[in-house]
Structure 1
């Protein structure tokens, strides 16, 4: 059991450190946008979704309607629904306490650890996942707290390019999963189309690019007889 705890912590440590700029940016942006320190920290404690937090903060500051905020954050976070469906068969027979705790901690980072065929099988692997996901949750809130403090003391941190941490983390998570041609072409289709949509100033370009990439990957996988 101690080995599973230690391994879960050390395996997630690189990603815990990689989100330092992202967490600091979330905390500082919230405070500099008029949120109280408590409100800024509660976003990380309760929402626990970096991209959704950043977008929600910008929409709230821009006086967007509640329905706009809810729909936008729902679309951005919809991938977590797919994550849940993907690991459902591995957790469906587990006690409720495990399903609830791991469901809450199932971020992009923990999902990247969930592809092993024996993931979540047995108590040791459940503890491993809980420690990995839990350590990321704690780290995220620590970096947010640092951002909250820094946001109240330092000038606008958004000018320091910290938002690049978001892209770099997702790139690091995606690249190891490119193991076949359909996945590669799905990534390429999304990457090229988002650049085109950005140049054309398409408001929902990110959503369209994601849908296009998934469609290309699905079409190629079906043609090759893959799932």
Structure 2
């Protein structure tokens, strides 16, 4: 059944405004990543380059930690791939909403899609709002620039703040993402409370059980697939 959309967000500026919660979270966690990178012996240029190419908070923290323990490059690359593999799932889940876009535009959207921008995007989609290419660019590009800038600032402050955890900067991204998830599912809870709660419970329980057997990164991926499978099954069973 074709899903209908109401007139939504179209301009680049509206995308920038929608990115404000992400900006607030990125400043805290980006500065923390820059500080830790500097304390690990990385140059300011290396930290900024990593932020621009890797563009992932969890991955960058893992890379910095593995560099500090002199882990082999092959292990760092493989671990980073596993941690970021969830982006395949996120891109696939929104691909149907951009099927009319050219391949170049789709690649541009997918390349800058993060957990947080995905959360903001899905919040609009779940409320029946259509979003334009300009809007998603406003959201993605703003988040990307802020992330690089905050890493750069953290690298400059690296010698002044040796322990960012004392300021609570390590929790900034977690708090922001919790807020985005709540905004995304609150509409679903009103109309499909039981199904939504079952999916959430299945994901949480899967992560808990699997993390005791395999790595946390793989556990999250498998739990996500389980949650998607249960969602499809419950949707078809109505």
TM-score (norm 1): 0.82
Whether 2:183 is the aligned partner of 1:176: answer yes
Provide the rounded CA distance (Å) in 2 between the counterparts of 1:213 and 1:182.
15
Provide the rounded CA distance (Å) in 1 between the counterparts of 2:159 and 2:35.
7
Q: Which has the higher contact order (CA 8 A, sep 6+)?
A: 2
Provide the rounded CA distance (Å) in 1 between the counterparts of 2:90 and 2:214.
26
Structure 2 residue ranges without an equivalent (≥5)? 1-9
2:159 match: secondary structure: helix
Structure 1 residue ranges without an equivalent (≥5)? none
Provide the rounded CA distance (Å) in 1 between the counterparts of 2:73 and 2:37.
18
Provide the rounded CA distance (Å) in 2 between the counterparts of 1:168 and 1:184.
21
Aligned position for 2:148? 141
Whether 2:42 is the aligned partner of 1:35: answer yes
Aligned position for 1:94? 101
Provide the rounded CA distance (Å) in 1 between the counterparts of 2:224 and 2:84.
17
Name the stretch that deviates more: 156-165 or 47-56: 156-165
The RMSD of aligned alpha carbons is 2.9
2:229 match: secondary structure: helix
Aligned position for 1:185? 198
The partner residue of 2:86 within 71, 79, 88 is 79
CA contact (8 A) 1:186 1:216 kept: yes
Provide the rounded CA distance (Å) in 2 between the counterparts of 1:203 and 1:219.
21
Provide the rounded CA distance (Å) in 2 between the counterparts of 1:11 and 1:65.
40
Provide the rounded CA distance (Å) in 2 between the counterparts of 1:101 and 1:223.
33
Q: Deviations over 1:55-101 (max 9, x none)?
A: 11111211222232122211211111112212223334423442232
Offset at 1:220?
A: 6.1
Whether 2:113 is the aligned partner of 1:106: answer yes
Offset at 1:14?
A: 1.9
CA contact (8 A) 1:151 1:157 kept: no
TM-score (norm 2): 0.78
Provide the rounded CA distance (Å) in 2 between the counterparts of 1:206 and 1:96.
29
